[in-house]
Every structure is written in structure tokens, then in C-alpha cells.
A and B are shown apart, each in its own frame.
Chain A
Amino acid sequence: MTKTKTTGISRRNVLKGGAAATVGAAIGSGVITGFPTYWAQASKDITITHVGSIYTTNPTVSEQANKDLGFTIQMQTLDNTTQINRMLTQPETIDVSDFGNTNMGYFKNRGILMPIPVKEYKYWDQTVPLFTQGTYADGNAYSMQGYAPIKSQYWTDASAQEYSLTPTDFLVGIPIMYNADTLGVRPDLVPHKVESWGDLFNSEFAGKVALQDGVNVGVPDAAVALEAAGLMTYVDKGNMTREEIDKTIDILIELKRAGHFRSFWTNFDQSVQLMASGEVVLQSMFAPAVTEVRTRGIACQYLPLKEGSRGWYIFQSAMAHLDGGDKLRRDCVMEYMNWCNSGFNGVYFSRQGFYSSVPDLMKAQLSENDYGYWYEGKPATADIIDPFGKVMEKAGAVRDGGSLWDRMGNVGIWNTLMDEDRYLVRRWQDFMAA
């Protein structure tokens, strides 16, 4: 944590001087203009309310933020439904909020999110082009099926009503973390190597597969698998037509009646439990869940598949009331959001297997072994320890799927919220009842 010098302002070094020094650093970075002493005194009493999921809000990070910044960060961990409800109905009770791409359809034409001026975010020029340009690192365009990052990265203008597909001066959110999900496999219980999503519907695994429960993740996964198995074709799996939805649900009902699905999981723990207990040998999973199964000493692979992975990201944004309110509070919020990507937070979640949108900053602050393992696909030179002190992988292990761009460079579909969401939810109910 002492390698911050590469970023220009060595905030962490001056920190020891206390809050005033922090402010000095902030001013040095050009974020704040005005009277430093006044700011340091006044910002002391500011409390920022940050709401998010268990992945983005935790006591370790908020403690560090409170140490590094001159004001108070109050984190609140909420489930997605509660959080979105609160953002929509009581936006003034929140300052900063994190949300995933399955929610991006709820914020258009609402005026609840603050447009973030690109020039107020320090690391935009170091951010991966997935977000800034809508391409992979090599400049190639990625799949636009589902809520691809570029579909919701920029506001068309300062009114923050519609998303723009081309870069503008206003960000919808600052990308915090992202990853590519694929099928988790129990190699000890699966007789052959799994190379395609189509295997999810292979009769060989009848009664031993699971999907995430829901229309934003589970249905896109099912669609990828159905297409791979040659059972369906889609124009856009991430945004199906009613006809495609009907056909998809009909096939899924047939499979369900034949006893093909073991379960549909709602949360992280359930997916870990299904895999670890051997109830399921093949299922759609999130990366940390695979790691969790492995830390229990059970073999679990997370394999790159022919059809590509399912990408997702989490944005951090500020609420619109800040623009019209206290200027000091807004400055603190921007300072905090800049802090969130500057180091500690990114290092913390990188060591759980999530990717930071500013990998170069991570490289400067992660140990060489950690960065090599998590980002570069290199064999671990020493044991890989997670942020909670547990050994995740022994020396010599290589991350499933390889480097950042090996894993992130072949996204087949993104987590989604379809235009026909209303129809899809209704048909999903039929599927559950069948």
C-alpha cells in the first residue's frame, strides 16, 4: 500500500499529516478549488451515505476511506430490490450508489442520477476501453447482446435523461468492477471436458444442472446454451422478441418437466452449496462462488467456453440531488468516488477475483504475485491469499481462463434487462409454475 507514488499525487504519504494534508492532496489533484483550510474544517462534519451490494460495501473499505478522507463515509449494504426501490423513491436519502448492469433500464428519463462530468473523474484516461470506447483492449468491438457497458456509459447531455452510444462529457457512472461469468464445473463428477454452453442441456447431465433464478442472468445463460445446443436461434439473446421468449420458455418448460434442472439459485451461498454438495455438476456461477467452493477443498473449474462468457459490471454513481444542493457535499462525493478507484478498494476486490476498471493503478499497488495471478494469468509464485487471510490457491496455480483479456476478451452476452421484460417475467412465472 505504499507504492502510490506512480499516480502523481502521493496522497497516502502526506496522509500522516491528517485531514488537512488529505485536502491538500485533493486540491493538488485539481478536484477542488477554493479555500483549503475552510474546506478541511467544513468537510469534517459531512457524512456521505453510500449504498451498494455485499460486493461493493464492506467495513474494511469504509474504515480505510474514513482514514484517508477528511469526512465520514457511511456504507449501507442492501439487497438489489430494496436498493433500487430506495434510489427511485427516496433518492435524497442516498449520496453514492453502486448498481449492476441488470438495473440500467430503470434510470433513463428519471433524473435521479447525477451526470458525472468526465473532467471531474481523475482516472478516465486510464480506464479500460470496455467502458470508455466500447471495445476490448485490442480495439476490437465486443458483443452488443445484453446491456453492454457502452450502452449505458454516457449520458447524451447534462440533462441525464438518455444514454449515448458514443462518448460525451457526462458519465452515467464510474465503472467499479466487472467480470466475465461462465459455467462452473465439478471435474471429478463430469466425465468429459466441457467446452460449450450447450452441455448445460446435454441429457448426460439431466437432473444435475442449475441456473441462476431470474430473467436478467438465468434466461440469457439459458439462451446461450439453447443456441449452442442448436435448439434455438436468436437475433439478440440479450433483448429477445416476444416470439423468441415464447419459444425459449416452451423449451425450458419441456426440460423442466423431464427433470433436467436440479435447482435455480437465488443467491451466492445457494450456488456454492449446490456445487459443494455435489447436487449439481454443471451450473452457471459467479467467479467468487467458484473460488469459495475451491477453498473448501472441492475441485471446481471455471472454464472458458466456445460461445464466450456472460459479462457484467457494476457502476458507481452519485444522486442528482447533489447537483442542486450543498456544493461542499458534492465535492466530497466526487472526492470519495475518485478515492474508490484510486487503490485500496480496487486492491481489496481484485484479490477476490473481480477486475478493476483501472488495472494499471492496481499493478502499481498489488504485489507482483497477486497481479500476475489475478490479472496476467501467470502461475502464482507464492500462495494466493484472499483479503480475509484465507489461502485461496497454492503456489503454482494459474487462474481459470487466464489473463484479464483472455477472460474478458470473449464476451458472448452481457447481463441484461430486456425491453420485453414485462412479458418475459410473466412467461417466467409460467415456467416456475410448470
Chain B
Amino acid sequence: MSVSPRVASWMQATPFAVIMTCLVIVPLGIIFVVSFMDFGFAEIIPEFYLGNWQDVLRSTLTIDTYITVFQQLAIVWSITLVLGFTIAYYLIFHVRSNFWRAIFLAACAIPFWTSGSIRMISWVPLLGREGLVNQFLVGTGLIDEPISWLLYSEFSVIVVYVNMLTLAMLGPIANSMAKISPSVIQAARDQGATEWQTITEVIIPLIKPGFVVGTIFIITAVMGDGFLVRAMSGNQVNTPAVAIMNEINAFQYPPAAAKSVVLLLIVLGMVGLLLRFVDIRKELAR
């Protein structure tokens, strides 16, 4: 039995098309429609209503929450980039033994050996007012009384993000670095390049895909997270995702839907922009 190539490619694409349609496009369509509806106590009132969008587009809440999350994103991205790059560089170009490289990479995942909620709670004895850091600082006489902004603040949110997301940046960068042929590095050295010149002129241009993939991980994680922000800020920092969670917990779906559509468009826009600069598919196939 033979099938024409045209039919075959349609058949190959069908399963994924069905999954995308049923599990992504249709639900998103419903969310979009619901965002134009009114609501009562845990009920959606199916009447055309623009209030949710007026609130999203005009209120200072939207601006405030996006300023907060973009600040978080910029700081977390910069720190994880520096950490991820340097750790990956060391692992790939300085650790010679594959065995130790694997051990060190696995060690980066140690924070994930325990559950999320335990991880959140265990920051308290470290960063709290009577925690280890404060005890140390007071003990050494560096400060007179405990600092309270170490915990339940924007600071603690950033610390925990960095703790969790460095691996997300490190992984893709290390992967790209590992693909660089040793002969390329050797060639640069033979031409008399310093280590710094090798990094800036050879390695960095070659790890662009890893860098873009890592950045996408960071963007989606920070923009989409609500749990970590709530727990580490003691519910005192509001981001777009937290605002959506608050409304879902109050069974107020239409305004949550409007906020979700905005968040989705912004994240898609950011990822789309990144992909314009680097063709990941082409680069990864190399």
C-alpha cells in the first residue's frame, strides 16, 4: 500500500495539530471570550462586558505589577547569566575529566532534591531576623541589630529565583559550549588570542543559541510564577501572575482571563523578539 507524499505529510502533521488545537488554541479562545464577560459570586455571567479590559488597560495596578516583574526579570536574568556563563565555562573548558564534569553538573541540581514548599520554608532559618545570616552579621559586629529586609521582601524573592533558575541558564549555555570543537579553541590560541579574546570573539558568538534558550527559560519562569513570589514576599509583592492567582482564588475568572491574555501576549512578544535574533532551529541542528 502506498500513500502519496502529500497525504503522508498531512497525516504526520495531524496528531500534533489536533493536540495543539484541542489543548492550546481552543482553551485560549475560551479564556479570551470569558475575559469579555461579567461575573458574580463564583459565577461567570455570559453578557458582553468591557469592565475587565478597562481595568486592565487603565489601572495603575497593571503598570505597578509589570514594573515589579520587569525589575525582577532584569535582575534575575543578569545574575543568572553571569553565574550560568562562568560556571558553564569552568565546567566545559577547565574541568578536564568527564567524570568530574558530570558530578559538578549534578551538584548544581542539589537544590531540587527536596520539595518546593520545604525549600521555601527552609529560607526562614537562614534569612530570618533570627536566622543564620543575621546571627553572623550581628555576631561579627558588622551590624548592630538584625536586618529584616533579608526575608519577606523583594530581596528574598530575587535570592530564591537566582537559587532556582541559575541551572536553567547554565544548562543550555553549557550545552552550547560543549558543542564547540576543541580545535576551534586551539586555533584561536595558535593565532595568539588571549583567554579573554577567545571568550569574547570565539565562544560568545558560538553559544548564542544556548544563551537564547536560557533567556527564554528565565523569562517564562519569572513572568509566570506566582507561588514563589507569594511565599518569599510574605504576600506583599504583587506581580501579574500573582494578581491572576488572587482572582482565581476568589473565583473571579473574567478579570483573571483578561490579565492572562495580556500576560500571554507580552511573554509571546518577548520570546518572538528573541527568536528573531537567533534562529534556534538552525543553530541547534548544527
- Which chain A residues have a beta carbon within 8 Å of chain B's beta carbons? 81, 84-85, 88, 105-106, 108, 207, 210, 213-215, 256, 259, 261-266, 269-270, 273, 277-279, 417, 421-422, 425-426, 428-430, 432-434
Report the minimal beta-carbon distance from B57 to chain A, rounded to whole angstroms: 15
Report the minimal beta-carbon distance from A41 to chain B, rounded to whole angstroms: 41
Surface stretch bound by A, among B28-36, B72-80, B246-254, B277-285 = B246-254
The 0/1 profile, CB within 8 Å of A marked 1, for residues 150-176 of chain B is: 011000000000000000000000000
Report the minimal beta-carbon distance from B252 to chain A, rounded to whole angstroms: 6
Chain A residues with CB under 8 A of B128: 277-279
The contact of B130 among A210, A264, A277, by CB within 8 Å, is A277
Chain A residues with CB under 8 A of B237: 432-433
Question: CB-nearest residue of chain A relative to B62?
Answer: A433
Known: A85-B251, A106-B42, A425-B252. A262 touches B124 (CB 8 A): no
The contact of A266 among B60, B129, B230, B252, by CB within 8 Å, is B230
The 0/1 profile, CB within 8 Å of A marked 1, for residues 115-147 of chain B is: 001000100110011110000000000000000
Chain B residues with CB under 8 A of A266: 230-231, 235
- Are A279 and B252 interface neighbours, CB within 8 A? no
Known: A88-B42, A105-B41, A273-B124. A429 touches B243 (CB 8 A): yes
* Further pairs besides A261-B236, A432-B235: 4, Cβ < 8 Å: A81-B249, A85-B251, A213-B230, A279-B151
For residue B260, CB closer than 8 A to chain A, the reply is: no
- Are B39 and A430 interface neighbours, CB within 8 A? no
The contact of B61 among A88, A263, A264, A430, by CB within 8 Å, is A430
- Are A215 and B124 interface neighbours, CB within 8 A? no
List of 9 A-B pairs having minimum Cβ-Cβ separation, nearest first:
A263-B234, A433-B238, A264-B235, A432-B238, A213-B235, A106-B42, A433-B64, A425-B250, A263-B152
Bound complex: CA A202 to CA B125 (Å) = 26
Chain B residues with CB under 8 A of A214: 249
| B36-90, CB < 8 A from A | 39, 41-43, 55, 60-61, 64-65, 68
The contact of B148 among A85, A105, A262, A430, by CB within 8 Å, is A262
Q: Number of B residues whose C-beta is below 8 Å from A?
A: 38
Chain A residues with CB under 8 A of B238: 429, 432-433
- Are A428 and B246 interface neighbours, CB within 8 A? yes
Report the minimal beta-carbon distance from A53 to chain B, rounded to whole angstroms: 15
Report the minimal beta-carbon distance from B55 to chain A, rounded to whole angstroms: 7
Report the minimal beta-carbon distance from B42 to chain A, rounded to whole angstroms: 4
Chain B residues with CB under 8 A of A264: 234-236
Bound complex: CA A433 to CA B128 (Å) = 22
For residue B242, CB closer than 8 A to chain A, the reply is: yes
Bound complex: CA A263 to CA B234 (Å) = 4
- Are A278 and B130 interface neighbours, CB within 8 A? yes
Bound complex: CA A347 to CA B247 (Å) = 37
- Are B68 and A433 interface neighbours, CB within 8 A? yes
Question: CB-nearest residue of chain B relative to A419?
Answer: B41
Chain A residues with CB under 8 A of B248: 81
- Are A210 and B247 interface neighbours, CB within 8 A? no
Report the minimal beta-carbon distance from A206 to chain B, rounded to whole angstroms: 10
- Are B61 and A425 interface neighbours, CB within 8 A? no
Report the minimal beta-carbon distance from B47 to chain A, rounded to whole angstroms: 15
A–B complex contacts, Cβ < 8 Å, 16 sampled: A81-B248, A81-B249, A88-B42, A106-B41, A213-B230, A213-B235, A215-B250, A256-B236, A261-B234, A277-B131, A278-B130, A279-B151, A421-B250, A425-B246, A432-B243, A432-B246
Known: A85-B251, A215-B250, A279-B129. A421 touches B55 (CB 8 A): no
Chain B residues with CB under 8 A of A108: 41
Report the minimal beta-carbon distance from B174 to chain A, rounded to whole angstroms: 36
Chain A residues with CB under 8 A of B152: 262-263, 279
Q: Interface centre among B152, B248, B250, by most A CB within 10 Å?
A: B250
Chain A residues with CB under 8 A of B43: 88
Report the minimal beta-carbon distance from A217 to chain B, rounded to whole angstroms: 13
Known: A81-B249, A269-B121, A421-B41. A210 touches B61 (CB 8 A): no
Bound complex: CA A425 to CA B238 (Å) = 13
- Are B251 and A279 interface neighbours, CB within 8 A? no
- Are A207 and B148 interface neighbours, CB within 8 A? yes
Question: CB-nearest residue of chain A relative to B120?
Answer: A270
Bound complex: CA A242 to CA B197 (Å) = 64
Chain B residues with CB under 8 A of A265: 234-235
Report the minimal beta-carbon distance from B133 to chain A, rounded to whole angstroms: 13
Bound complex: CA A210 to CA B152 (Å) = 11
Report the minimal beta-carbon distance from A184 to chain B, rounded to whole angstroms: 16
Question: CB-nearest residue of chain B relative to A214?
Answer: B249
Bound complex: CA A134 to CA B43 (Å) = 29
Bound complex: CA A428 to CA B236 (Å) = 11
Report the minimal beta-carbon distance from A189 to chain B, rounded to whole angstroms: 10
Chain B residues with CB under 8 A of A269: 117, 121
- Are B235 and A106 interface neighbours, CB within 8 A? no
- Are A278 and B121 interface neighbours, CB within 8 A? no
Bound complex: CA A306 to CA B60 (Å) = 39
- Are B234 and A210 interface neighbours, CB within 8 A? yes
- Are B250 and A433 interface neighbours, CB within 8 A? no
Bound complex: CA A84 to CA B253 (Å) = 14
Chain B residues with CB under 8 A of A432: 235-238, 242-243, 246
Question: CB-nearest residue of chain A relative to B151?
Answer: A279
Chain B residues with CB under 8 A of A273: 121, 124
Report the minimal beta-carbon distance from A181 to chain B, rounded to whole angstroms: 18
- Are A426 and B55 interface neighbours, CB within 8 A? yes
Chain A residues with CB under 8 A of B39: 422
Chain A residues with CB under 8 A of B60: 430
Bound complex: CA A265 to CA B120 (Å) = 13
Bound complex: CA A426 to CA B256 (Å) = 11
Bound complex: CA A432 to CA B248 (Å) = 16
Chain A residues with CB under 8 A of B252: 422, 425
Bound complex: CA A433 to CA B247 (Å) = 14
Chain A residues with CB under 8 A of B55: 426
Chain A residues with CB under 8 A of B61: 429-430, 433
Chain A residues with CB under 8 A of B130: 277-279
Chain A residues with CB under 8 A of B68: 433
- Are B124 and A279 interface neighbours, CB within 8 A? yes
